[in-house]
Amino acid sequence: MSLLDFSTLKLKPALLQNLESIGYTAMTPIQQQSLPHILAGKDVIAQGKTGSGKTAAFVLGMLEKLDVKRFRIQALVLCPTRELADQVAQEVRTLARTIHNIKVLTLCGGTPLGPQIGSLEHGAHIIVGTPGRIEDHILRNTLKLENVETLVLDEADRMLEMGFQDVLDAIIEKIPAQRQTLLFSATFPPKIESVAKRIMIDPVMVQVESTH
Ligand code: ADP
Ligand code: MG
């Protein structure tokens, strides 16, 4: 066993077994640096290039903390686009294969609201979505975020470039202040720094330049 293996982390046996079966053995550098802090419950800002394995870092943190017996929305992941939200939801499903009865729901624009509202009525543990549609559901009272314990902003730089700042603020206002906030980004412009200062508590900053 190498120090770089997932098995060095305090993860549920079901998660470790699954990681092995899908061929994730060694952690990528960003996972090595961020996961110990994420699993310790800290707020974390992680900056790394596309393809560095950021998704698994926050998904494993979310899944380790999640109580599947408590059928409430415990984690919210915000992504800039529907394609990215679909990719994240797919990674959640892959990494959660051994966690039975886990319900992951994707809420993005460009899809009729009716079926989404129906799915929300049936409940979920994890929501992955785009800011506009998430805000829409909040305003319609079809989405309640009062039980969210983990908030993830994925590709935060892109969300800000796309002008989602106010929408993000409106969403975050509905999430309990006592939560873990994880922010992932390929770049770290001053705008992100100021957002992080407002929405995170004493964040750990992790930066990885290369993917190897
Ligand atoms: P990022 O969000 O940083 O752009 P992704 O999370 O999409 O990167 O990961 C890129 C690819 O690497 C994905 O196909 C993912 O399945 C794979 N991957 C991530 N972590 C590992 C790992 N520890 N071992 C093997 N493959 C991994
Ligand atoms: Mg990513």
Tokens linked to 114: 């009716």
210 pLDDT above the threshold of 90:
no
Q: Do residues 79 and 130 touch, judged by C-beta distance below 8 A?
A: yes
pTM: 0.96
Nearest protein Cα to ligand 1, atom 5 = 53
Q: How many residues does the chain have?
A: 212
Residues above pLDDT 70, as percent of the chain: 97
- How far is the C-alpha of 137 from the C-alpha of 127, rounded, in Å? 12
Nearest atom of ligand 1 to the alpha carbon of 154: 2
**CA–centroid distance, residue 93 to ligand 2 (Å):** 15
Radius of gyration of the chain (CA): 16
d(CA 167, CA 131): 6
**pLDDT tens profile 67-99:** 999 999 999 999 999 999 999 999 999 999 999
User: Taking the CB of residue 10, how many other CB atoms lie within 10 A of it?
Assistant: 10
What is the CATH T-level fold of the domain 29-208, as seen in this structure? Rossmann fold (3.40.50)
Would you say the ipTM is above 0.90?
A: yes
Contact 204, 37 (CB under 8 A): yes
For the CA of 54, the closest atom of ligand 1 is 3
- The one-letter amino acid code at 80 reads P
CA–CA separation, 24 vs 85, rounded Å?
A: 21
Instruction: Determine the residue type at 108.
Output: C
